[in-house]
Structure 1
Amino acid sequence: MQQKQNCGLPLLRNGSISRITKITCGLLFCLTTGVFAAGENAELLTSNRIVNAAPDQAGKTVTITVRDDMGPVVGANVVVKGTTNGNISDMNGLVVLDHVSNNAVLVVSYIGYVTQEIKVGNQKSINVNLVEDSQALAEVVVVGYGTLDKKQVTSAVTSLSDKDLTVGVSGSDISTALQGKIGGLVMINNGDPNASTTFQLRGMTSVKAGKSPLIVIDGFPGGDIRSLNQNDIKSIDVLKDASAGAIYGTRAASGVILITTKNGANTDGKVRMTYNTELRKRQSFGKPEMLSASEYVEHGCGIDYGDDVDWWDELLEKGNFSQKHNLTLEAGTDKAQIYTSFFYEDNEGISINNSRKDYGGRMNTSFKMFDDWLEIRANVDYRQADRNNNYPNFQQALRNNPTRSPYDPESETGLNVWTNESLDYNVVADARLSTYNGLDKWFKPEATFKLNVKAIPGLSLQQVLGYENRQWEYHYFRSKNHRDEINNSRKGYAKLEFNKTEYLTSEGFATYIKELNGGHSLNVVGGYSYFERNGESFSEENYDFPVDGVKYWNIGSGTYLSDGKAGMNSKKEITERLFSIFARANYSYQDKYMLMASIRHEGSSKFAEDNRWANFWALSAGWRISNEEFMKDIKWVDDLKVRFGYGVTGNNDFGADYTANTLSSDADWMLPNGLWAKSYGKSKNLNLQLGWEEKKEWDVGLDYSLFDNRLYGKFDYYRRKIDNMLYEIKVPQPPYTQGNMWKNIGSMESKGWEFEVGGEIIRTKDFSWSSNLNLSHNTAKVLTMSGDNTYLSASGFPSPGNPGDAHRLEAGTTIGSFYIYKFAGFDDDGNFLLYNKNGEIIPADQKVEQDRRYMGNYMPKVILGWNHTLTYKEWDLGINLRSWLDFDVYNTIDMYFGIQGVDNCNVLKDAYGKFNNIRGEKQQCDYYLEDGSFLKIDAITLGYTLPLRKYTKFVDNLRVYGTVHNVATITGYRGINPEVNVSGWEGGIDWFSGIYPQVRTYTLGIQVKF
């Protein structure tokens, strides 16, 4: 065939141009869509109807409207299956086809979208809503060292796409966008823009070693979730049980969170650009109700200085305003794709002196070479966070005398600085007269080389190399006018710190995927993994500077250096290394019977040579009942699968310097010549018997999808046991140089369940409503410790009253219990009465330690997340709710500020109301235990998407949305926030120290796609 001149008619979709080529034999072919028109003089007109496509045939005319979530789709391919009768959609997304029979099937396709097949039937007008390939991601699950079809997964895995993340709730990291989305995952963050997030999946997995899930970003283990930008995330897969995580070995004891970032797409060479901005305002709410100035004076609480001050209000940054800007560019062909993003975020907290500025960028590229024999993926990520974390002590705002002003216009600084009063000081001045600047940096280049061995179909070899450099710089200065400096007769204080940590990852593995005759399929992976961590740090500090203004930038000018009192420190951390070989095999027969086995042989440098290596393995199986012959007539069951898995993982998440002799100086000695000398000695006790902490877990699960996939979900029940627990115990001195040593002693077990149900409640042409509910439950107990009558204590309360520790861990302990005294009432003078160990009522001052008992529990019986998405034409509404049910919170706000008589310090209004009868010293008892159950409206997002492609060829759509985060909390709890820390065995306490205000956030977001 001879190809003639191009006809010159362009087809536009998102600005891309497809040429129409005319063939002399009479076939008209669109190079992009593959639509043919037959006939000796075939022509494609500017209309969306084919003329002279074929001789007249029996049938009818059908109008098809093709849309996506942005509006009409231009250039979509619509063809009658098995024929050449088809066309592409016009600027309004319309296609008109003639001669279409009732039993015809339409095939609708477009690059980047899922191909759909639609039966015509009696319809003459058909609406088609295209779904992006990224939304089909739920059908492919990322697992250890590869991916699997969702139908072949035999372990407990939860998968989210980027569209499942809540927008407009940006905090210190992406965790706020995940709240309530993953059953069994608890995330604790107090709302401070600089705070880190505590993660716990399926309850506590260790006493002292690490308890957070392993973060794997783009296949590289050990990632930092704080380094991620939400706009770059493509998917998140959470491996919950040991059968899923065992292939990651020692770092998977607390689960695995696999995060995949965007990697570009085949855009036919066109550059796609997206710009996002979010403008955010924070509002404080729910502060404790303290005595006003007039009430303070009325009750004779302290000296009347004549002012009227709301100290809490003075610490708030009412003019806070945050903004975020993100620009992404992506382009690609079938052989080369690139994704780049750049962002800047100015994040101001609700408190004075509390903010951070982030900026960074990411470039993800992928290339196919040598007829697809070689694939190369290269990623580079950089992020920098400039932190001001010098926010004041809100505990002091509760305590301060409300008649005393923080300001003094007569002073040099304009601030009222008073000294030598430990319980009452100017917390505003402390914050204003000191400077904190911290700088975080992440730099991560990564490369993946994949060789597709075409001579053996299904075989590929992959090598990944990753490097990460994390740096932390800390600058702190305290003015000569600061309270601490005046109290100590100094003229200022400065400190500088620098910390650098480097991570190196090298992994190589072979993958073999084969579909065999008879419905057998095989997915096998085997390889090695090497990880190395190195760190170093130094710091210096000095006092007594000639001027304030230079701050920490002339630290050598302080007189403490010449006097020999300045501080200097440096450290080189012990190198941590992990090496392992691993293998995984997945087998499926007709997608009905599935098996998985994995093993990892791993060695860690943290352990002594004889205990360095261990094996971690897993087995799991699945049975898809819905594929059985006896289910074929049950049409309302789309998918029904049962799963069972068992796995063993390890834990070595503690310092790397417990198997190496480390020396440090602990004293200065004056020599006869008048010079000072350092003494050195062992700083750690070595335990050459120290070995792996192991978690053994089994999980049984059920996955279901019903009623044409309108109702779907899963259920899991699991039990786990942790052996050879790692924690420090006391040892005698001598023979040991230090009083503590790490050992493997004791065991713990936990069990729980998770239930998820989701559905498309309403699905019509213009309106849809989908909802997803997840519930989880977990309990844990300690089986054994280092021996009889041994225990660990924690959560010590400050004096006065010598309250002691609120938690104790010993054999038989249920995790989450409080170890406190039982309240028995008050005597006639308002003093606490308690029960002793024999159940007798005694005055509180007669109590002994043995009178304590285990009471209450801070682990919620049920943790719930409930998410709703509603759409009406171009409008969308998201509502996210969370709830913790039936758990106890210890209210230290009431305990420390609810009793009258603290000299010159403020108290709660309730001290002269609800607690008016209390006169004696506070007691650590269940009087202050409260039910913390709550229902939180976590976020509401309303958005509108305006399709612009039909008005301009440059812009696809404009989306505007508004989000209110932390909308409301419905609870009977009286303290500040019932959502206390419940991770680990020291939680459940609403501390009065370290308070950060509750924050409601209002966000306006704008997104433009080009």
Structure 2
Amino acid sequence: MLAKLTSLRWGLVLMLVFSSLISFAQRVVTGKVTGADNQPASGATVTVTGTSTATQTDASGNFSISVPQGRNSLTISYVGFENQTVAISGSSVNVALRAATSSLSEVVVTGYGTQRKKDVTGSVSVVNVTNLRQQPVGTGAEALQGQASGVTIITSGQPGAASDIRIRGITAFGNNSPLVIVDGVRGDLQNININDVESMQVLKDASAAIYGIAGSNGVIIITTRRGRSGKARLSYDSYYGVTTQGKGYQMASSQEEANAIWLQQKNSGIAVPSHKQYGTGANPTVPDYITPFGVTGTVDESKYDINSNQITRANKVGTNWYKEITRNAPKQNHNISVSAGSDKSSYYFSLGYLDNQGIAQFQYQKRYSLRANTQFSISDRIRVGENAYLYYTRNPTFGNQGEGSPFSMAFRESVLIPVYDIKGNFAGTKSQDLGNARNPYADIYRTKDNKGNSWNMNGNVFAEVDLLKHLTFRTNFGGTMQNNYGFNFNYVGYENAEGNTGANSFSENSSYNTQWTYNNTLTYGNTIGQHTFKILGGTEAVKYYGRGLGATRSSYFSENPNFWTLDRGSPSGQVNTGYAYQSSLWSQFARLEYSYAGKYLLNATVRRDGASVFVGDKRHAIFPGGSIAWRISQENFLKSVSWINDLKLRYSWAKLGNTGNVQATNPYNLYSSSAGRSFYDIRGTSNNPSSGFYRSNIGNPETTFEGDIISNVGFDATLFKNKVDFTIDWYKKKVSGLLFDAQTIEFAREFVGDANLPKVNVGDMQNTGIDANLTYHGSFTKDLKFDVTGTFTSYNNKIVKIPGVDFFSSNGIRNLTVSRNQVGHSVGEFFGYKVLGIFQDAGEVSKSPTQSDAAPGNFKYEDNNGKDAAGNLTGQPDGKIDASDRTYIGNPNPNFTYGLNFAMSYKNFDFSTFFFGSQGNKIFDATRIYTDFPNFFKGAIRREVALNSWTPGNTSTTIPKLMTTGSFSRDLETNSYFVSDGSYLRNKQIQIGYTVPVKVLSRVGIERLRFYVQATNLFTATKYKGLDPELQSSNIGANQGFGIDQGNYPHTAGYLVGLNLNF
């Protein structure tokens, strides 16, 4: 730790030395800015007119700014007030602002340029960066959740895990991720340092058309921080905290598990129940020892053998496996930044360190980051600069959604089994009648020495030249370089019922991925009378390429991590892997922005994209877009309405495209060799087979872009003396020529053999919905002020066409096929039998439609369909339950999601809180396959099942009777018993802060000092009984099989303290 602090100290010294080299002679001007009713304007921006030198007022409206020689005025801007320029007549300036006619006067970043927010004609969400920085999270996506309407983000509790980001829902079977632009070039949200973010906008409609195929799923534009005016300013932000392990699953105790097994056998007609661990007789007995597999007789500890006679004392109370694999995890974050600027240059440097320990034992995310942003004015007409971000991550992870993850095993491993056997070795299911689950603590412990490291460099260099008075040329080159390295050791689980023999193995892998972007733009803007226009034209080249390799060897003599190198493993059965890829994009684009008298606005774009993954005339496409707006509040008939400050109606339309994760090899037939395709010399000259070649991939040169048509109607309003800001949008997005695997549709029937089939253009899909954002700025007294912001996002997804087949399903979970994609329904809907209840007696069975395995205690399915003589579905009950009665039993897509930010300040105290919710989405709880039906997998049982399953004396339950075999009427078919309401409302954070008064700090040279305490994920209101209703995409398929819980890494409550310090 001392070495880290020493490194940070020397880095800070270098920053300060650099700052002294580019500082200029300046004078310091102080003052106070007030707004309505003479209240302090906290957070107002004070800029030296004609320069980039700027600062912000503190909570009391006070400011201090260094003014370069030759500059004689200040410009003050504040949300809800007119920009005001005042002359500097001395060393002190006090300013009283006037209320603005519109609160939409701030400048926002759009594609390849900027606009005043009041002039934006498309659907653009401007994110409150202050709210982002209050989220103590490890990724930018987590911070963005709920902060922008139209954006749905599903995160994981696992540190460093990638989030599912969807702008206006799912509109493809393949790629649904938005484009992320950082400082003008392509980047990502995963590892950006939130402290470095200056602004963030989300483009959701035709406003994204300027990016062509890359913008079809929406665009997130991020600008990082720049140097501010005057002398060097040092900031230090830090927090320390802990994430609690949470409560976990409510599983039956050892005795309750045994009682449930006895009930299961009695329900199945076994007169004298018996079990290898719990004995034989009328009642089960929890043993002192777990009987090893293949061993009989009395346990003798002296005969312990880890392979043939592993002796384990039973846990009579029951092992809480969730508690064993989790912990109260510490977290800390530190960020130091130095910035300064003048009319000739500016800089911003930052150093960041994040240590986010996961609640899962031995799992963590660590990130070390460095940012350097500089800009120089070579002359009055030439500006150059760069933005560089270097970061190193250490983030060994494990799959957190699959059935084999430690969180999944935590509800499958019998609670009778302890963590260790009598010799301190891991205990497990290599016994009798305890199933085939694995010791979850052993699984996670064995990952502690695995590595997952990555070096990344993101950034760009740029130059701007004012060729003429209104004509500017800009060139920009940047990209990403990523180098990944990792290894893992696969131990033999000697304690498990399965996989307890064989050889250990070691795998090592390395890869690099590179992407660069080079764009050039020419912009002309002017105002002639009441006509204001700006014309932009440009070109852009993008290239992606990378390589990776890996190898695995087995039979290591020592499992000591110091011994893990590939050469020390056995070459017998070694596995070598590798990959390489490259693709490119070449584009030309143009845009026209026009305004007449500030009332009638027009924006038109066109882009031509050429993608290397397609061939011939399928490679290029043109994507036009346009939007118009009418500022109604500027019309004479509304100017006299005092409570309307600004009102604007918008409409937009655009055509975009998508490459849908198509690989560069998709158009071509590929061939491979294999001994399995061998042949013998027919002349008999050799007895040795020769490898044969075969077609491994069938190409499709006709594949081309998906076609997206997006239309949007919306309006923006600022009301009641700028206290209320309201935006609402209705949209429709129709996608044609969806890109998908040919195996799934009619195209595949033209081929024979086992070759992989290509991506083809099939099917149509449509999304409609509403986005809304409402903000209210208010005050109770002069000192007690507050802001409330709510976001609302809804979408309705429908598959419009799938040629050749009626539907296609996602992969199954064990014996259950869960999701079906069919015309007229949403992507990923759950399909199966609808459970009406439980049969209570033989009389109810006899009066119900014929159903296989119908019996008291089993599910009663709905009879909702039948077939006519020709085999066609009639849509009418036919008196029997069969496959035709399966129906849609749940939709994982939410009806809407919403966020609520509330901030309040009183003098030097501040309070904020943020809520996020999802409504109407369903969850397929696949964990019930294991916890509710012990016949399926022997092992742990959910406590509610053990205590409240159906019996003749307990008929009011929804849990079927326990049986020793599976049944059509219980667990062998997908049915609505597994489907739960996944709606939830979560308090994401609550923060209370105190800012030390300026008059106290000025004595010690500190500009600002704020302390705060914060709680995260403090509570979640939900009916869902699983670990967490917020589910990332499962391993079934991110775009066709989501909303499926197989044991996810949960979000749990956390607590921290932090400070913000400025010099």
TM range (shorter): 0.7 to 0.9
C-alpha distance 1000-137 of structure 1, shift in aligned 2 (>3 A): farther
Q: How does 1:100-499 map to 2 (within 5 A)?
A: 139-171=106-138, 173-207=139-173, 209-221=174-186, 223-241=187-205, 243-267=206-230, 270-300=231-261, 303=277, 304=286, 305=290, 306-307=314-315, 308-369=317-378, 371-390=379-398, 393-411=406-424, 413=425, 418=430, 423-434=436-447, 435-453=449-467, 456-479=468-491, 487=499, 489-499=501-511
- Of the three residues 680, 684, 706, the one matched with 2:697 is 684
C-alpha distance 689-300 of structure 1, shift in aligned 2 (>3 A): closer
Instruction: Note if contact 1:419-1:486 (Cα within 8 Å) is conserved in structure 2.
Output: no
Partner SS state of residue 566, structure 1? strand
Could you tell me how far apart the structure 1 residues matched to 2:395 and 2:76 are?
A: 45
Structure with a larger share of its residues in strand: 1
Q: Which amino acid aligns with 2:327?
A: K
**Residue 298 of structure 1: CA displacement?**
3.6
Q: How does 1:584-623 map to 2 (within 5 A)?
A: 584-623=591-630
- Alignment correspondent of 1:568: 576
Does residue 1012 of structure 2 align to residue 1001 of structure 1?
no
**Residue 851 of structure 1: CA displacement?**
2.9
C-alpha distance 841-653 of structure 1, shift in aligned 2 (>3 A): closer
Partner SS state of residue 653, structure 1? coil
**Residue 679 of structure 1: CA displacement?**
4.7
Instruction: Note if contact 1:761-1:768 (Cα within 8 Å) is conserved in structure 2.
Output: yes
TM-score of the superposed pair, with normalisation by structure 2: 0.79
Instruction: Note if contact 1:281-1:1001 (Cα within 8 Å) is conserved in structure 2.
Output: yes
Q: Which amino acid aligns with 1:449?
A: A
Does residue 542 of structure 2 align to residue 531 of structure 1?
yes
C-alpha distance 284-634 of structure 1, shift in aligned 2 (>3 A): same
Does residue 874 of structure 2 align to residue 911 of structure 1?
no
User: Deviation per CA, 1:899-953, whole angstroms, max 9, x where unpaired?
Assistant: 3545641111121344334235414212333333322222111111114465335
- Alignment correspondent of 1:834: 861
**Residue 738 of structure 1: CA displacement?**
1.6
Does residue 791 of structure 2 align to residue 774 of structure 1?
yes
Could you tell me how far apart the structure 2 residues matched to 1:749 and 1:299 are?
A: 48
Could you tell me how far apart the structure 1 residues matched to 2:30 and 2:1057 are?
A: 42
Q: Which amino acid aligns with 1:986?
A: Q
- Alignment correspondent of 2:845: none
**Residue 466 of structure 1: CA displacement?**
0.9
Partner SS state of residue 108, structure 2? strand
User: Deviation per CA, 1:276-298, whole angstroms, max 9, x where unpaired?
Assistant: 11112111335221101232234
Q: How does 1:953-992 map to 2 (within 5 A)?
A: 954-981=1005-1032, 986-987=1040-1041, 989-991=1043-1045
Partner SS state of residue 975, structure 1? coil
Could you tell me how far apart the structure 2 residues matched to 1:91 and 1:279 are?
A: 25
C-alpha distance 416-738 of structure 1, shift in aligned 2 (>3 A): closer
**Residue 461 of structure 1: CA displacement?**
0.4
Partner SS state of residue 452, structure 2? strand
C-alpha distance 350-605 of structure 1, shift in aligned 2 (>3 A): same
**Residue 408 of structure 1: CA displacement?**
2.6
Partner SS state of residue 165, structure 1? helix
C-alpha distance 591-548 of structure 1, shift in aligned 2 (>3 A): same
Q: Which amino acid aligns with 2:886?
A: R
Does residue 909 of structure 2 align to residue 875 of structure 1?
yes
Instruction: Note if contact 1:66-1:128 (Cα within 8 Å) is conserved in structure 2.
Output: no
Could you tell me how far apart the structure 1 residues matched to 2:409 and 2:658 are?
A: 40
Does residue 583 of structure 2 align to residue 548 of structure 1?
no
Deviates more, 1:980-989 or 1:532-541: 980-989
Q: Which sections of structure 1, spanning at least 5 residues, go unmatched?
A: 1-14, 22-29, 36-47, 49-63, 79-88, 96-106, 120-125
Could you tell me how far apart the structure 1 residues matched to 2:858 and 2:1005 are?
A: 76
- Alignment correspondent of 1:510: 522
Calculate percent identity across the aligned residue pairs. 25
Instruction: Note if contact 1:264-1:338 (Cα within 8 Å) is conserved in structure 2.
Output: yes
Instruction: Note if contact 2:183-2:460 (Cα within 8 Å) is conserved in structure 1.
Output: no
**Residue 257 of structure 1: CA displacement?**
0.5
**Residue 128 of structure 1: CA displacement?**
6.4
User: Deviation per CA, 1:144-200, whole angstroms, max 9, x where unpaired?
Assistant: 1100111111000011242131514313x1222222111121111121003110101
Could you tell me how far apart the structure 1 residues matched to 2:47 and 2:657 are?
A: 51
**Residue 442 of structure 1: CA displacement?**
1.1
- Alignment correspondent of 1:82: none
Instruction: Note if contact 2:429-2:497 (Cα within 8 Å) is conserved in structure 1.
Output: no
**Residue 895 of structure 1: CA displacement?**
4.8
Q: How does 1:16-95 map to 2 (within 5 A)?
A: 69=42
Instruction: Note if contact 1:480-1:548 (Cα within 8 Å) is conserved in structure 2.
Output: no
C-alpha distance 363-66 of structure 1, shift in aligned 2 (>3 A): farther
Instruction: Note if contact 1:284-1:998 (Cα within 8 Å) is conserved in structure 2.
Output: no
Instruction: Note if contact 2:244-2:328 (Cα within 8 Å) is conserved in structure 1.
Output: no
**Residue 705 of structure 1: CA displacement?**
0.2
Could you tell me how far apart the structure 2 residues matched to 1:409 and 1:703 are?
A: 70
Instruction: Note if contact 1:892-1:989 (Cα within 8 Å) is conserved in structure 2.
Output: no
Could you tell me how far apart the structure 1 residues matched to 2:1015 and 2:802 are?
A: 47
Deviates more, 1:981-990 or 1:426-435: 981-990
C-alpha distance 230-568 of structure 1, shift in aligned 2 (>3 A): same
**Residue 786 of structure 1: CA displacement?**
1.7
How large is the RMSD of aligned CA atoms in angstroms? 3.7
Q: Which amino acid aligns with 1:389?
A: T
**Residue 882 of structure 1: CA displacement?**
2.0
Aligned length: 906
C-alpha distance 206-686 of structure 1, shift in aligned 2 (>3 A): same
C-alpha distance 414-925 of structure 1, shift in aligned 2 (>3 A): closer
- Alignment correspondent of 1:634: 641
**Residue 272 of structure 1: CA displacement?**
0.7
Q: Which amino acid aligns with 2:1055?
A: Y
TM-score of the superposed pair, with normalisation by structure 1: 0.83
Instruction: Note if contact 2:668-2:700 (Cα within 8 Å) is conserved in structure 1.
Output: no
C-alpha distance 933-290 of structure 1, shift in aligned 2 (>3 A): same
Partner SS state of residue 177, structure 1? helix
Instruction: Note if contact 1:866-1:882 (Cα within 8 Å) is conserved in structure 2.
Output: yes
**Residue 90 of structure 1: CA displacement?**
15
- Alignment correspondent of 2:89: none
Instruction: Note if contact 1:288-1:976 (Cα within 8 Å) is conserved in structure 2.
Output: yes
- Alignment correspondent of 1:43: none
Instruction: Note if contact 1:108-1:115 (Cα within 8 Å) is conserved in structure 2.
Output: no
Q: How does 1:837-856 map to 2 (within 5 A)?
A: 837-838=865-866, 848-856=882-890
Q: Which amino acid aligns with 1:775?
A: F
Instruction: Note if contact 2:129-2:198 (Cα within 8 Å) is conserved in structure 1.
Output: yes
Q: Which amino acid aligns with 1:1006?
A: L
Instruction: Note if contact 1:821-1:853 (Cα within 8 Å) is conserved in structure 2.
Output: yes
Instruction: Note if contact 2:386-2:460 (Cα within 8 Å) is conserved in structure 1.
Output: yes
Q: Which amino acid aligns with 2:932?
A: G
